[in-house]
Amino acid sequence: MAKNLLEQLRNYTVVVADTGDIEAMEEFRPQDATTNPSLITAAAQLPQYQPIVDGVLKDARNELGASAADKDVANLAFQHLAIAFGKKILAIVPGRVSTEVDARLSYDTEATIGQGRSIIAQYDKAGIGRERILIKIASTWEGIRAAEVLEKEGIHCNLTLLFGLHQAVAAAEAGVTLVSPFVGRILDWYKKDTGKDFQGADDPGVQSVTKVYNYYKKFGYKTLVMGASFRNIGEIRELAGSDLLTISPHLLAELEATEGDLPRKLDPEAAKQQVIVKIEMGKTTFEAMHAADRMATDKLKEGIEGFSAALVKLEGLLAARLAELEQRQPATV
């Protein structure tokens, strides 16, 4: 019996679920899972997860006291909500979950370090070892520096919103555990910029991840590559062999429903044979390469703004839910 594409992909690549939907994880049983503020916001609005949301709000109110403003309780609650979802996810997946630092801290190294330590402390308190957690941080220069400090403390990091080779090189030299280059968002930018469509190996997002993967394997970096943000299974097929791929539930379902051959496209031994120039990376080089890369500049800015907006929306939803709960049950919340 022929194997479907998802089964074949698992022979080469660790499959990660890109969702906050716990039911989807139970269906597809990925090795790892990753979320982001937009996914957590969407999941928090689903009726089946309301008990999780209500429990986090109650704990935040108890922690801050009855006199604290609703907006302050909501702010604390959103920090705890991602961890509450993370704990649920880790009861399903055998591997790791990525929990994201507040995107509004993306250009603040010290604040990012502080929140990364806080996230790990909360997982520690719940009896979950740090080997199962990745702290997700935007791939700004400041975020990469924060990740470097956290990694030296044994706190593993996932550098997200990664669009350019300069970000990938800086992250690897900082010793981060994993990077998440955004395939689909790169494709979106080039389609809009050029008015053209791209397929298969011509997809600029596929080319970007391939370049990062080959660079890492050529020069022996331990940092893993996890392609993310896919628009179609054609992109996934072209990146079979990447260390990890994080895939949304609807594309996981499409891969599972599709039969045919899935050859390995990315291979560490093949990468080692390529002629690649090593980049000496420092802040000046990083900033120059970033400024010269219109796509990376646009998409990093857009991504941070989008995740920040999702957090503002989530805080608003939490504040409204808190007011509703306290109006209904003033003695117990």
Q: Annotated catalytic sites, by residue?
A: 136
Q: Is-contact 19 11, C-beta < 8 A?
A: no
Sequence-separated contacts (24+) of 229-233 with Cβ below 8 Å? 229/18, 229/182, 229/183, 229/184, 229/185, 229/205, 230/183, 230/184, 231/183, 231/184, 231/187, 231/188, 231/205, 233/5, 233/258
232: amino acid identity, one letter: N
d(CA 134, CA 113): 13
DSSP states along 219-282: TT---EEEEB--SSHHHHHHTTTSSEEEE-HHHHHHHHH-BS-------HHHHHTS--PPP---
Q: Tokens for 215?
A: 């660079």
Q: Tokens for 269?
A: 């031994």
14-18 and 133-138 as β-strands: parallel, antiparallel, unpaired?
Answer: unpaired
d(CA 160, CA 142): 13
Cβ atoms within 10 Å of 72's Cβ, excluding its own: 16
d(CA 28, CA 312): 31
